[in-house]
Amino acid sequence: MRRFLGMLLFAMFGPVALVLLSYGLYWVVALVEHFTSGHGLPPTYGAAIANVLLLMAGVVMTTAALLTVGERKWSAMIQNRIGPNRIKVFGTSVGGIFFLIADALKMLTKENIEPSQRSRLMYELAPMAAFAPSFVLFAVVPVGPSVDIAVGTAVHKVALQVASIDAGLLFVFGAASLAVYGTALAGWSSNSKLAILGGVRASSQMISYEVSLGLALVGSMMAYQSLRLEEMVQAQGQLLWGFLPALGVFLQPVGMLVFFASSFAETKRAPFDLPEGESEIVGYFVEYPGMKFGMMFLAEFIEVVVLAGITAAIFFGGWHPILFEQTLKDTFGEASVAWAAICAGAFLCKVLLLCWLQLVIRWTLPRFRFDQVQKLCWKMMLPIALGNVFVSGALILLDGSLHLLAAVGLVELVAMVLLTAAASKKGEVPAPAHAAAHAAPGH
Amino acid sequence: MPYRLDDTAADLRERLYFPEVIRGVGILMKQFLRNFFFGREKNPDMLARDRSLSQNATLQYPEERVPYPPGYRGLHRLVPREDGRPRCVACYMCATICPAQCIYIEAGELPDDPIEKYPTKFVIDELRCVVCGFCVEACPKDAIRMDSGEHAPPSYTRAAQIWDEKRLLRGPPVSYQYDPWLRRGASSIPAEKLAEMKANAKPFSTVATDEYAQTPGFSVKNLAAEAKARGETLARK
């Protein structure tokens, strides 16, 4: 009972803590901006630097690092285990987060064993090439709305977004495609058969999934008529028929499913973990020791966080809190920092929930065979994504106010729910012949 | 394979793939929330655990232990007599039958009871022991038992695994009606103690029963009941 109450409190005050954190982030960014613009730098310079440090190095890195422990702990809960809990400080293990420090120490102090026939420059470059692109993706994700903050007499426009560029989603696709260079390089430069198998698998898988990843978002681009993520998020705040928020998940349910599945392949995690395939080839990083391996490992988790952020921004309303949105807006006022902080907190909540969902799916499904992966991509997801582009385009052409698109999207959602609920009885396992023996203790 | 796998082709719904994935994710989420919000029951008797809330099956081993089942061949003990001396008469039966040759005995004579021998040295090398239980079967005096309910503890040295009679002689004493010191008396046992021992002595069983196969008072069921009485189950009122 104590655990239940504790977890309930955690679930209730977690979002509140995230809102407070966002409030702090806004003010820090505003103060840095105030400092730099006071010293003659052009506007938004300080804010951009502060955002890079706080959002990318702070929020994303921390979340990704915590996810490494979270994965172990959550998978334990899914599988009726306890998970890591042996490192205790003052008698408490606090969900096993001390394993983070232990893991980092282990990685950093490992002996540096390198294959003698490696291609030196490429070998050293590969972990960085794998790490950086997944990291840089987060630059265009809007964490919070832009708001005017007055520091003293000066008023600064502050948004929790590193870079607001016109290309927006195109930048996302470009940077995401770069990530494969790291894995392919790692596989090739290690001069190991297993590693190059992993690298080749990685490149063929990533190239196939880039296509459906991009096509899945075309529908959203057409619906919101923008490539900038912050404009797509703003467009999702409008209400259809006066009550339904124009979320991507309602307008583009098929696009969402295809994008989510493709982003799974992009993160190189189960069920698409063929580049690693621990049980068969160990993977493209098999020859990397210590922190070089750690960077590739962490890159996966960073990609999980970043793709959760992009999914949240395009399909789940970004920083719109959705629940009680109008009440909160009226209470705090649209121009206030408090309202912006609530929005940013809501976005962080969505990102964490999507990260959790990705981990749950990762533990649900076993690894695909390679031909199944290719079949799923080229024969299923690509036609679906293409069809989605044409259907969405036609619906937007017929009705520019998105009502028709939303109606069709809702029908698709309902169909999906019905299909999921209609479980077939066929797969039931017949009772074993010695059923009575199963009931006996110790059988 | 206990049952035949149904090898019929998947229907359209299953070939759509996503509905089944969503169902699977739902099952895992249920399991996650269940173990997230509710704690593990700590009852070491796994079969008696209430698994309606959390289904966590882990036993935190060094802190929580499952009691070994009755009949478990654990660490040896030399059964004492009521006066604290071993029942062993140094007949070498156990040392002779031991397939691992891990028992070493040196016999001596009791000064007050010159009819019987006793072991001046009784050493078991627990590292060589194969835990076959032949020594227990061979003993004509029921003087060596493996009913301690524990296994050999780990140690950093080999020497610590060599148990001598000082470490082996432990546990509750056992008396039988045929015990010679009960019939003729012994100078080390006072008269009233002897009378009490005679009253408590039992006939030697020719059939293996739980009572002879395990440590006196040891029972999985009792342990589970005690744990419940201590309130170690999840309170759900």
Residue B204 lies in a domain: no
Could you tell me the pLDDT band of residue B210, with boundaries at 50, 70 and 90?
very low
Extract the residue ranges of chain A whose pLDDT is less than 50.
none
Q: Does B224 score more than 70 pLDDT?
A: no
Verify that B21 and B96 share a domain, yes or no.
no
Q: Does B196 score more than 90 pLDDT?
A: no
Verify that B22 and B98 share a domain, yes or no.
no
CB contact under 8 A, B38 and A3: yes
Residue whose tokens read 């301690």: B148
Nearest neighbour of A77 by CB, restricted to B24, B25, B35? B35
> In chain A, which among 49-88 make CB contacts under 8 A with chain B?
74, 77-82
Q: Could you list the residue range(s) of the whole structural domain that residue A306 is in?
A: 1-56+113-420
Q: How far is A312 from chain B (nearest CA, A)?
A: 19
pLDDT number for residue A436? 65
Residue B114 lies in a domain: yes
Residue A427 lies in a domain: no
CB contact under 8 A, B58 and A80: yes
Query: CA A144 to CA A338: how far, in whole Å?
Result: 11
pLDDT number for residue A383? 93
The SS3 assignment for B181 reads: helix
CB contact under 8 A, B58 and A81: yes
Q: How confident is the model over A427-441, as pLDDT tens digits?
A: 555 565 666 666 666
CB A147 within 8 A of CB A26: yes
Query: Nearest residue of A to residue B60 by CA position?
Result: A82
Q: How far is B6 from chain A (nearest CA, A)?
A: 7
Please give the tally of structural domains in chain A: 1
Residue B166 lies in a domain: yes
Which residues of A fall within a CB distance of 8 Å from B62? none
Residue B48 lies in a domain: yes
pLDDT number for residue B237? 39
pLDDT number for residue A313? 92
pLDDT number for residue B212? 45
Residues 6+ apart with CB under 8 A from B104: B95, B121, B122, B123, B124, B125
CB contact under 8 A, A80 and B57: yes
Residue A87 lies in a domain: no
Query: CA A90 to CA A97: how far, in whole Å?
Result: 13
Tell which of B123, B141, B174 closes a domain: B174
Query: CA A308 to CA A355: how far, in whole Å?
Result: 6
Query: Nearest residue of A to residue B31 by CA position?
Result: A78
Residue B22 lies in a domain: yes
Query: Nearest residue of B to residue A380 by CA position?
Result: B16
CB contact under 8 A, A80 and B21: no
Query: CA A102 to CA A87: how far, in whole Å?
Result: 9
Residue A392 lies in a domain: yes
> In chain B, which among 52-81 make CB contacts under 8 A with chain A?
55-58, 60
Q: Alpha carbon of B235 to those of A80, B30, B186, B229: distances in Å?
A: 20, 22, 55, 12
pLDDT number for residue B214? 46
pLDDT number for residue B213? 44
Verify that B170 and B85 share a domain, yes or no.
yes
Verify that B37 and B90 share a domain, yes or no.
no
pLDDT number for residue A148? 86
> HEC states along chain A?
CHHHHHHHHHHHHHHHHHHHHHHHHHHHHHHHHHHHHHCCCCCCHHHHHHHHHHHHHHHHHHHHHHHHHHHHHHHHHHCCCCCCCCCCECCECHHHCHHHHHHHHHHHCCCCCCCCCCCHHHHHHHHHHHHHHHHHHHHHCCCCCCEEEEECCEEEEECCCCCCCCCCHHHHHHHHHHHHHHHHHHHHHCCCHHHHHHHHHHHHHHHHHHHHHHHHHHHHHHHHCCCCHHHHHHHCCCEECCCEECCHHHHCHHHHHHHHHHHHHHHCCCCCCCCCCCCCCCCCCCCCCHHHHHHHHHHHHHHHHHHHHHHHHHHCCCCCCCCCHHHHHHHHCCCCHHHHHHHHHHHHHHHHHHHHHHHHHHHHCCCCCHHHHHHHHHHHHHHHHHHHHHHHHHHHHHCCCCHHHHHHHHHHHHHHHHHHHCCCCCCCCCCCCCHHHHHCCCC
Verify that B82 and B169 share a domain, yes or no.
yes
On whether any CB of chain B is under 8 Å from the CB of A423, the answer is yes
CB B42 within 8 A of CB B234: no
Q: How confident is the model over B80-106, as pLDDT tens digits?
A: 887 788 889 999 999 999 999 999 999
Give the CATH number for residue B129. Answer: 3.30.70.3270
Residue B43 lies in a domain: yes
Verify that B170 and B81 share a domain, yes or no.
yes
CB contact under 8 A, B234 and A1: yes
Which residues of B fall within a CB distance of 8 Å from A426? 6, 8, 11
Q: How far is B223 from chain A (nearest CA, A)?
A: 17
CB A114 within 8 A of CB A166: no
Residue A120 lies in a domain: yes
Which residues of A fall within a CB distance of 8 Å from B12? none
Average pLDDT over residues B57-75: 80
Q: How far is A443 from chain B (nearest CA, A)?
A: 11
Query: CA A367 to CA A385: how far, in whole Å?
Result: 23
Q: Could you list the residue range(s) of the whole structural domain that residue B110 is in?
A: 77-174
Q: Does B211 score more than 70 pLDDT?
A: no
Tell which of B138, B156, B174 closes a domain: B174
Nearest neighbour of A360 by CB, restricted to B11, B28, B56? B28
Verify that B99 and B134 share a domain, yes or no.
yes
Please give the tally of structural domains in chain B: 2
Total-model pTM: 0.81
Which residues of B fall within a CB distance of 8 Å from A380? 17
On whether any CB of chain B is under 8 Å from the CB of A419, the answer is yes
Could you tell me the pLDDT band of residue B236, with boundaries at 50, 70 and 90?
very low
Number of H helices, E strands in chain B: 9, 5
